[in-house]
Structure 1
């Protein structure tokens, strides 16, 4: 096998291997959340939580909420950061919410 064909074989193999999970979809924020912190999706904290959940936040460029719970009552005393985010996926267990925008209740 020539070096060129070996290199081509490696390139074809690399293209066939998936790069992990795709980033979660970013949709308009509609879910009021109380989050312990809100950080850029590129931050170390967001990346660490995302890695635990098997999410890839590369290139999202949005704010994410960490340790969030839904606000279900108007006037709820959040005590942390009140935001509106994409509704977090149930399997994320409140650890992360995507595309958060700070709000004032």
Structure 2
């Protein structure tokens, strides 16, 4: 039963990704402190896969990309991942990806 559900969910995500127009995200000065599960190159397969789901085209960008990020709202080092400052519009990308991530030390 769960295998059928995963096939349906995967199919829906692929369909949504194909239906969304690809846009190149702007690379701006990072202003948002984030805790990301990982930070990878914008040319990596993982970054490309997440970007495709969101309708983003990372082709030609050469910046660090944060994956599975959440804003840091309390001062302190309670981040279980990588602490970075990024361009991460939560409204648009829902914490799945952040662009131009620079490591910081809190």
Q: TM-score normalised by the shorter chain: which range applies?
A: 0.7 to 0.9
CA contact (8 A) 1:49 1:96 kept: yes
- TM normalised by structure 1 equals 0.78
Q: 4+ residue stretches of structure 1 with deviation over 4 A?
A: none
Counterpart position of 1:90: 91
Any unmatched runs of 5+ in structure 1? Answer: 1-19
Question: For 1:51 and 1:87, how far apart are their aligned partners in 2?
Answer: 16
Cα deviation 1:8-54 (Å, max 9, x = unaligned): xxxxxxxxxxxx43310000011000000000000000000000111
- Count of matched residue pairs: 86
Question: Matched residue of 1:48: which SS?
Answer: helix
Counterpart position of 1:37: 38
Question: Matched residue of 2:34: which SS?
Answer: strand
Go from structure 1 to structure 2 and tell me whether the alpha carbon gap of 1:98 and 1:57 turns closer, same or farther (over 3 Å shift).
same
CA contact (8 A) 1:88 1:98 kept: no
Mapping for residues 52-71 of structure 1, pairs under 5 Å = 52-71=53-72
Cα deviation 1:36-93 (Å, max 9, x = unaligned): 0000000000000000111000011000000000001111400110000013241211
Answer 1 or 2: which has greater helix percent. 2
Any unmatched runs of 5+ in structure 2? Answer: 1-20
Larger Rg: 1
Question: For 1:88 and 1:76, how far apart are their aligned partners in 2?
Answer: 22
Mapping for residues 16-35 of structure 1, pairs under 5 Å = 20-35=21-36
- TM normalised by structure 2 equals 0.77
